[in-house]
Amino acid sequence: MESGFTSQQAMSISGLSRRQLTYWRNTGLVVPSQRTDGGHWRYTFLDLLALKAAKKLIEAGVSVQKIRKSIASLLNFLPTCTAPLRELSLVTTGDIILVLHGDTAFEALTGQEWILPVAELELEIARLHHPGKPRQVELFPDQGTRDSESTTEINSKVAARSLV
């Protein structure tokens, strides 16, 4: 009994045409890992993942040539990685392919690490949403009141009015 997925099954699962599968195989973008005794190609589950990854990158606007260059570059940056489309998590941000590997993110072509300081970004967003927003205690400092209402009660009423 032969294992793996036929080209017809791979087309059905991936949503690719026979022409795309053949072109990708002939150009080395995604080559099936198995061959039968009769010479027919068979796709493994990991090959299907690679087909899906390549298809998603193309649908996101990344050219086949850029995907091919990224794969070659990744093979240099990560010598233990033998099939980047199967083994790595790839994300595209327009024309840039980012690789999520472990706890880092880096550009596939250059290997440049992307660092996003989340805590600093969160603080900056908070400042942008509330620029110079005074705190309630700054509006009514506790200097004593003439009537029977406490400063806390006045502050509560002012806050309630501002919501209306």
pLDDT in tens, 62-78: 888 999 898 888 888 78
Where is pLDDT greater, at 4 or 143? 4
Q: Same structural domain for residues 88 and 27?
A: yes
Q: Same structural domain for residues 52 and 94?
A: yes
Task: Select from 55, 36, 42 the least CA-distant residue to 4.
Answer: 42
- The DSSP line for 60-110 is TT--HHHHHHHHHHHHHH-TT-S-HHHHSEEEEETTEEEEEETTEEEETTT
Q: Same structural domain for residues 63 and 21?
A: yes
pLDDT digits (tens, 9 = 90+) for 24-45: 999 999 999 999 999 999 999 9
Provide the domain count of the chain: 2
> Is residue 158 over pLDDT 70?
no
Task: Select from 135, 61, 141 the least CA-distant residue to 97.
Answer: 61
Q: Let me know if residue 18 belongs to a domain.
A: yes
Tell me which amino acid residue 98 is: L
What pLDDT does residue 144 have? 52
pTM, 2 dp: 0.61
Which residue segment(s) compose the domain that 12 sits in?
Answer: 7-114
Residues 6+ apart with CB under 8 A from 131: none
Q: Let me know if residue 1 belongs to a domain.
A: no
